[in-house]
Structure 1
């Protein structure tokens, strides 16, 4: 009976506090949101960040799958799987294809 009560309290606390894996992000989410909209990398492999909004541009770094990134603005560039939109990343001189990044808020045009 004690174990069942402890489990119930633990589950209730988890619902109120949210999942632990995002608790750190949620705590500083206000500061991040003030800098720009957030996007999530939607790939299974690392995503290339390009110098310019085209797949023919040099790779400047890579992002991990499911990584959260700050987006500055969006611009039309080279088509990737039928999607011509690219996002400029905050704090980096790089671009990622919108085909592989899910924006969680609207992104202004560049």
Structure 2
């Protein structure tokens, strides 16, 4: 069987163990994989379709510092797929919620602010217009 995720450097071959039935394998994770939970899809040999889904967690690199942010909008803030308010919302954070900010980059301006923060739960982007960073957020690579 093979497992895939956008965080893997390449598909992972899984070995079957018996009693109880489970699969094991090792994954090389991309250097730029965002820390946090990632969905993994597993393909069965010969079936041609995805047969199982699971999750794994990419830990934060020891030298990477995740900066905390606090949502300042009373309406909360949407998490978007891309750093633009035209992008699909994949989640939301509520007012005064503390969130992890991975990195920042310029995107569509919101209220005159072009900065967007990468978040990992759910994976996406939030506008800096409605989030106050508790420290310096590094630029995305």
Q: TM-score range by the shorter chain?
A: 0.5 to 0.7
CA distance in 2, matches of 1:54, 1:88: 12
Q: Which runs of 4+ in 1 moved over 3 A?
A: none
Aligned to 1:66: 96
Alignment partner for residue 56 of structure 1, among 86, 90, 113? 86
Aligned to 2:138: 108
Gaps of 5+ in 2: 1-63
* TM-score normalised over the length of structure 1: 0.66
CA distance in 2, matches of 1:46, 1:74: 19
CA distance in 2, matches of 1:99, 1:88: 13
What RMSD, in angstroms, separates the aligned Cα atoms of the two structures? Answer: 1.3
For these two proteins, the number of residue pairs brought into alignment is 77
Range that drifts further, 87-96 or 41-50: 87-96
Bigger relative contact order (CA 8 A; separation at least 6) = 1
Indicate if the aligned counterparts of 2:80 and 2:124 stay in contact, CA closer than 8 A.
yes
Indicate if the aligned counterparts of 1:35 and 1:70 stay in contact, CA closer than 8 A.
no
* TM-score normalised over the length of structure 2: 0.52
Gaps of 5+ in 1: 1-33
Once the 2 structures are TM-superposed, how far is the Cα of residue 47 of structure 1 from its aligned partner? 1.1
Once the 2 structures are TM-superposed, how far is the Cα of residue 78 of structure 1 from its aligned partner? 0.3
Once the 2 structures are TM-superposed, how far is the Cα of residue 35 of structure 1 from its aligned partner? 5.2
Q: Tell me the SS of whatever aligns to 1:99.
A: helix
Does residue 78 of the first structure (1) align with residue 103 of the second (2)?
no
Q: Counting strand residues as a fraction of each chain, which structure ranks higher?
A: 2
